[in-house]
Structure 1
């Protein structure tokens, strides 16, 4: 449904329904598959001439407003904690993982209740060919959860999808093997239907690095993880629940953090090159990035290295996407990783200011770095997927029925008990993702990686600029994206929008991969 139609429909609601939302909105179910517009507080929206500007729709607050917490900046970039391998056996990674409440201090004098894995956002590092055994415990009171190994080629029953929840207080052992050719920057996060968005914005996320047997990127470049998360704090240090605008647009916080810090600093020498792995672990924030006073080269995406490096002036990371860069710091002085404006579509008031944030500052010294080896011109081979045996079409849309709004795929909201698509294991298919909604939607498929073929908008077709493996692709409003995909393991897999509020509100489907 187009935004203009949506706003016109909402404008017809009675004033009493709007005012009643001031009480009802905070009591609405976080696990519903549709938003009740009768409970909607329409602050700041033009309601057919009525000025509703004084009402709060749970939108983005201003962190510099009086009384709002101010986060410290300029601390050294912290390394995320590593999950220790408890196995002494070569080729086996075994560890314990728990999702639990914790208290952290983002702002001075304020305690914030969060959810963390083993007290933090850990990094699991393993190698192609390794066997993984993770004993997971759900320590979240009164909520189910899962651990979804985002983008990883794992068996369907080990994928942590919402059909196999782990109850509060219960445990689950995840066991899978990492096949050859699977080296890539993955991540993991919860995926319980109706609770995913909340558990992620409260802090649950971790990194899973699968390393190759032989890495073509020079070791002298290092291997630096930058995990972007999105934080909203109330004046008392608490994390507010989602409001109506969050459910409509996806939650965008007041602070973008890097490894849990605001604008940390990285010390580098003149002429130094760094390998940076970027992870967008936010619920809904699109990050259009550039590096002032430094040059960027893209070397990898969600599914690992490209065939050859690609020079960049800027990079767009949609929610859940990853990218690997080599950044050259050739001029002394500060080099800032900053955000540019990005129009991803916004419904209603409270559109956040996306441009002008400094996420990371690299301080480049006058002292020259030791001579660094050149980046290889060839990184690896990516075999093209063969011609598809079948095509499928998925239409992303918003829908209103009476006073309820839902986010849908092919006209339907997610139903745990309904199989939406059936696919044969090993078959290559062409999937066509059509975005008829008013905002961008990052589309994610579980259990495999795909190869983008082309983009189409307003009748203009653009081929993919390079071959790569992806598990998440941003589909711009009004755009169609076509990609080739193959599932190599049987079982039930999810496909969905990775704006997590939209996923919880129904923009998800269930694929049955048959042997």
Structure 2
């Protein structure tokens, strides 16, 4: 089988090298930089700053990491050591969250309570466990109160961990494309528009959707070969409903958690923060096939239109939009879809059940609430013991979707609206539709400390829909 080609960018950051399993790098978006671990260590510098950026054929004043939107692709192996420096050249405080990684929530790891003021630098250092799941993760700011503004401004970057899933022979042979989905709201001069208070309330959306800062990129699909699509929703609020027109595709992973076997799907719903890995087999008639974004109502349209408001961006999410074009290329050595991937390990039996209610109201000046309370950094809302498993019932009593994200530890979705989920997989973010519910089974392992869970409509997080959880060592 041929070696993998990674479709991301042609420029490697100084000091980085390609992982041994990867081959030449093709570039649907020229100028994308990539930092890859070397000899078991990834070392990188990221500078957060406001810069003029090329964006879908125009210039835009965005918030960028190291001068690009999205930020550099960070690529590492399970078991690697990671050392990053974040230089803050913004006018606001900022920091980093390593979304989906199972690493400590303390010290210089995934500690979202550490903040760099304007002009300061933060150092991050942590080790991935040798058995860390391979998958697509990402990094973005997490300073409470400014998260939506900074992510919506462009601050987001993909992060790949190579693990056991990458050793499956068919996946190892597949070409690979990382697609970061973002949306922006710009004026004619390319400046970011200031959202009205009502748009902040419901979750800001932009009318310009980009893929890797462009739209739509051309992706080669080898005849008889496999293309691995790795999708990241890095938007602040927008939920994507995706379809590969007139061509089958197979889901192989969600949020870094591998499925037991490839599963053919028709559509994919991707909420903010969610990721998906898919395989496309080049077994159709040679042609061009569109990856499109279809209309999705997360409740904002009904709520705002009923109040006489017509949100910019949100009310334009009605027509299919092409996000990428997959075009057949030369015939390659036939590579079939894998028949099996990795076993999905069950989390064990729960010791208790908790309920979390997501709702709207007013509490201490905050509008979005969990169990009737807005976020308070002085308060611990949930205490758990390491080494235990719990069942969480999360009820959305609001008339709009709320994607739920838990830091540090993953979970499996057992039921949606009371109906069992077939073949649960490990996730860290899950959408809860308006007036819906989910039941999660959460395993708390390895790392003590305080972290958070929250709605990943980032305006909702900033306005109160977040709680603190303390993971205590077992007695």
Task: Tell me the TM-score normalised to structure 1 length.
Answer: 0.80
Instruction: Say which of 200, 205, 215 aligns to 2:167.
Output: 215
Structure 2 spans left out of the alignment, 5+ residues: 1-26
Q: What is the distance in 1 between the residues matched to 2:125 and 2:280?
A: 36
What secondary structure is seen at the aligned counterpart in 2 of 1:169?
A: coil
Q: What is the distance in 2 between the residues matched to 1:401 and 1:370?
A: 60
Instruction: Say which of 33, 43, 51 aligns to 1:81.
Output: 33
**Partner of residue 188, structure 1:** 139
Q: CA, structure 1 residues 220+182, in 2 after alignment: closer, same or farther (shift >3 Å)?
A: closer
Larger radius of gyration: 1
What secondary structure is seen at the aligned counterpart in 2 of 1:82?
A: strand
Instruction: Say which of 443, 455, 459 aligns to 1:501.
Output: 459
Q: What is the distance in 2 between the residues matched to 1:463 and 1:196?
A: 34
Name whichever structure is richer in strand by fraction: 2
Taking the TM superposition and a 5 Å limit, the aligned residue runs for 1:485-496 are: 485-488=442-445, 489-496=447-454
Structure 1 spans left out of the alignment, 5+ residues: 1-74
* Residues 1:323 and 2:273 aligned together: no
Coordinate RMSD, CA, aligned: 2.0
Taking the TM superposition and a 5 Å limit, the aligned residue runs for 1:70-469 are: 76-78=28-30, 80-83=32-35, 85=37, 90-106=39-55, 111-120=59-68, 121-141=71-91, 143-157=92-106, 158-179=108-129, 180-212=131-163, 215-216=167-168, 217-329=170-282, 330-346=284-300, 347-348=303-304, 349-350=309-310, 351-364=315-328, 369-400=331-362, 406-456=367-417, 461-469=418-426
**Partner of residue 47, structure 1:** none
CA displacement at 1:272 relative to structure 2: 3.6
What secondary structure is seen at the aligned counterpart in 2 of 1:451?
A: strand
1:54-109 CA distances to partner (integer Å, 9 max, x unpaired)?
Answer: xxxxxxxxxxxxxxxxxxxxx94557320255xx6x2222222221221113366x
What secondary structure is seen at the aligned counterpart in 1 of 2:33?
A: coil
Higher relative contact order (CA 8 A, sep 6+): 1
CA displacement at 1:474 relative to structure 2: 0.3
CA displacement at 1:400 relative to structure 2: 4.3
Contact 2:219 2:327 in 1 (8 A): yes
CA displacement at 1:304 relative to structure 2: 2.8
Task: Tell me the TM-score normalised to structure 2 length.
Answer: 0.86
CA displacement at 1:159 relative to structure 2: 4.8
Single out whichever of 192-201 and 240-249 deviates more from structure 2.
240-249
CA displacement at 1:422 relative to structure 2: 0.9
What secondary structure is seen at the aligned counterpart in 2 of 1:384?
A: coil
Q: CA, structure 1 residues 175+226, in 2 after alignment: closer, same or farther (shift >3 Å)?
A: same
Q: CA, structure 1 residues 312+78, in 2 after alignment: closer, same or farther (shift >3 Å)?
A: farther
1:470-512 CA distances to partner (integer Å, 9 max, x unpaired)?
Answer: 0000001111101111222111111000001101011101111
Q: What is the distance in 2 between the residues matched to 1:111 and 1:353?
A: 23
Q: What is the distance in 2 between the residues matched to 1:298 and 1:245?
A: 36
